[in-house]
Amino acid sequence: MSGLDHAHREYVGSLFRNHYQWLCLRLRRHLGDGGAEDIAADTFVQLLSAPVAEPIRQPRALLTTIAQRLMYQLWRRRDLERAYLDALHLDDEAQAPSPEELAQMLEALQIIDELLDGLPAKVKATFLLSQVNGLTYPEIAAQLGISQRSVSDYMAKAIHRCLKASLE
Amino acid sequence: MSVEQERLLEQATRWIVLLRSGQASDAERQAFLAWRARDPRHEELCLRLERTLGVFQVPIAQGIDGGVLQRALDAPSSRRKVLQRALLGAGLMIGGSWSLTPTFDSLSADFSTGIGQRQTVQLDDGSELVLNAQSAADVQFDSQRRLLKWRGGEGLLQVAADRRPFILQTSGGEVYGRDARILLRDRDSQCRVGAMQAPLQIVTRGGDRLQLQPGQEVTFDRLRFGRVQALRSGDSAWVNGLLEVRGSPLSEVIEALRPYRHGVLRLDPAIADLRVSGLYRLDQSDVVLEALSRTLPIRINRRSDYWVTLTAA
């Protein structure tokens, strides 16, 4: 371990001693006991693996920011899981997925969710029918009750987004 | 992104939109291949796109319909804003490069429980709120009124004495009560409210009014009230982690268990009206299902822990 790494660990360690309880308390009203401690611990793990300029002037602001992002991700994952299972539930043709399939699918869903985040619902619907179901534009237009022109426009928006993400 | 990069993205977008249409001619396909070969950056971009889209192999391999994915992605994330307000509202000053957008206009807070969790919280006025699993509420108190916005689920609220009126807002309407003890359930836009010690005034979104006496409960939605009934002793048993039913339909038992289980619990409509009596532990929903299958003519089909179907035996 290099000297810098060691110093960083020492520093994060001191932050942990001073602020861990505070962060747990703050998170507890949103997450309950177990969840709060998980997120608080993950927050410090992130801080350990992502070197920041030290000393941090307002450590609690930084910790709050990191914890908040972790909570968004956790909540989004839960929202997606619930919505996905509900959607499967409503789909008469859906078979029960195996635990492995579900785990894979939820991971994929989260990536897809971030990839398409912010695009209008119609754009997402159009793109998914093309990408997942392999439908042609006339078929998509018929299924969604929109013009073929709209299908092309929506596809252009989604493809542009995916291309842009590919460059990053 | 540079102008040149943007132009590259637009060219590539046009090609791919054309190829996906199902109407591209052979000549157009050839032209695309030529475009792709003309510049290594074109080739590189196409390869990267394939990698990005690789994630869709998962739903395709599992035979998941695009419409199902769409519905899952539509899941609302209303909690984001609430959380941001709540974390900042506690007076934390954010500065420097870690700045968020602070909103100090409201001292709102947010309480929520996940699957299988129950939580008791003290509100600023001394009122006490018990949340059942999968429930959530926003608190908006100011100098004029105390507003509790119920976002869904089940709760027991003890309203503390205070000069400001207390308003409980549900999907179906608003509930007013002084020194009241209110039992509330609000799921799928169907509300049930019980008055436990003081009278309650309920006004639906549609403007219908009803006075509920202590010991009574009523169901309602935005438009109408159901029949006023005597509060059942078992209605608040969940506060102690129990499910108490007397001659209730099986569907009601299953509804009560759902917030305690991950995944899907399907109930065959043919057996939904079977009558059930007993005292069960909510925290052990699998045990409850086993117990039900021993006393009722039903079968538990367990494809996996999170996909359970109850059918007629």
pLDDT in the model for residue B168: 95
pLDDT over 90 (residue B102):
no
CB of A147 within 8 Å of a chain B CB? The answer is: no
A8/B210: higher pLDDT = B210
Give the distance, in angstroms, between the CA of residue B88 and the centroid of all CA atoms in the same chain.
24
Verify whether the Cβ–Cβ distance B114 to A35 is below 8 Å: yes
Interface of A with B in 6-25 (CB under 8 A): none
CB of B121 within 8 Å of a chain A CB? The answer is: yes
Type of residue numbered B156: L
Average pLDDT, chain B: 84
From the candidates B23, B32, B49, B98, which should be mutated to test the interface with A, based on the most A CB atoms within 10 A? B98
What is the per-residue pLDDT across B185-244, written as a single tens digit (0 to 9) for each? Answer: 998 889 999 999 889 999 888 888 899 999 999 999 988 899 999 998 889 999 999 999
From the candidates A112, A126, A137, A166, which should be mutated to test the interface with B, based on the most B CB atoms within 10 A? A166
Report in angstroms the alpha-carbon separations of A107 from A84, A87, B55.
12, 17, 9
Under a CB-based contact definition with an 8 Å cutoff, are residues B148 and B169 in contact? yes
Bond into B165 cis (ω within 30): no
From chain B, the residues in CB contact with A96 under 8 A are 264, 303-304, 307
Give the distance, in angstroms, between the CA of residue A142 and the centroid of all CA atoms in the same chain.
32
pLDDT over 80 (residue B96):
no
User: What is the four-CA torsion angle of A20, A24, A27, A30, rounded to 10 degrees?
Assistant: 170
Average pLDDT, chain A: 85
From the candidates B15, B48, B69, B301, which should be mutated to test the interface with A, based on the most A CB atoms within 10 A? B69
Residue B177 φ then ψ, to 5°: -165, 145
Tell me the domains of chain A and their CATH numbers. Answer: 1-97 (no CATH), 116-168 (1.10.10.10)
pLDDT in the model for residue B50: 87
pLDDT in the model for residue B109: 36
pLDDT over 90 (residue A136):
yes
- Minimal Cβ distance to A96: which of B72, B117, B307: B307
- Minimal Cβ distance to B23: which of A99, A115, A137: A137
From chain A, the residues in CB contact with B79 under 8 A are 75, 79
DSSP H or E segment with residue B152: strand B146-158
What is the per-residue pLDDT across B155-186, written as a single tens digit (0 to 9) for each? Answer: 999 999 888 889 999 999 999 988 899 999 99
pLDDT over 80 (residue B77):
no
User: What is the four-CA torsion angle of B133, B138, B141, B145, rounded to 10 degrees?
Assistant: -90
Q: Give the DSSP per-residue string, B201-246.
A: EEEETT--EEEE-TTEEEEE-SS-B---EEPPGGGGGGGGTEEEEE
pLDDT in the model for residue B212: 93
Mean pLDDT over A14-33 rounds to 81
From chain B, the residues in CB contact with A108 under 8 A are 55-56, 58-59
Q: Which residues of B2-40 are buried (b: 16+ CB within 10 A; e: fewer)?
A: eeeeeebbeebbbbbbbebbeeeeeeeeeebeebbeeee
The rounded percent of chain A whose pLDDT value lies above 90 is 33
CB of A68 within 8 Å of a chain B CB? The answer is: yes
Beta-bridge partner residues of B194: B183, B217
Mean pLDDT over A58-72 rounds to 84
**By C-alpha distance, which of B204, B195, B252 is closest to B228?**
B195
The residue with tokens 């196409």 is B46
Strand ordering across the sheet containing B264-267: B264-267, B307-312, B298-304
Name the pLDDT band for A53 (thresholds 50, 70, 90).
low
What is the per-residue pLDDT across A91-130, written as a single tens digit (0 to 9) for each? Answer: 766 677 888 888 889 989 999 999 999 899 999 999 999 9
Q: Map residue B161 onto helix, strand or coil.
A: coil
d(CA A115, CA A165): 7
Q: Tell me the ipTM for this assembly.
A: 0.79
pLDDT in the model for residue B37: 92
The rounded percent of chain B whose pLDDT value lies above 90 is 49
pLDDT over 70 (residue B84):
no
Verify whether the Cβ–Cβ distance A125 to B67 is below 8 Å: yes
Q: Map residue A52 onto helix, strand or coil.
A: coil
From chain A, the residues in CB contact with B151 under 8 A are none
pLDDT in the model for residue B79: 53
Name the pLDDT band for B81 (thresholds 50, 70, 90).
very low
Name the pLDDT band for A17 (thresholds 50, 70, 90).
confident
The rounded percent of chain A whose pLDDT value lies above 70 is 90
- Minimal Cβ distance to B95: which of A61, A90, A107: A61
d(CA A23, CA A27): 6
What is the per-residue pLDDT across B38-70, written as a single tens digit (0 to 9) for each? Answer: 999 999 999 899 889 989 988 988 888 999 999
d(CA B62, CA B184): 40
d(CA B103, CA B189): 30
pTM for the model: 0.54
Under a CB-based contact definition with an 8 Å cutoff, are residues B257 and B266 in contact? no
pLDDT over 90 (residue A159):
yes
Tell me the domains of chain B and their CATH numbers. Answer: 3-73 (no CATH), 80-107 (no CATH), 113-233 (2.60.120.1440), 241-312 (3.55.50.30)
pLDDT in the model for residue B103: 25
Name the pLDDT band for A52 (thresholds 50, 70, 90).
low
Q: Map residue B177 onto helix, strand or coil.
A: coil
Mean pLDDT over A127-145 rounds to 94
Q: Map residue B171 onto helix, strand or coil.
A: coil
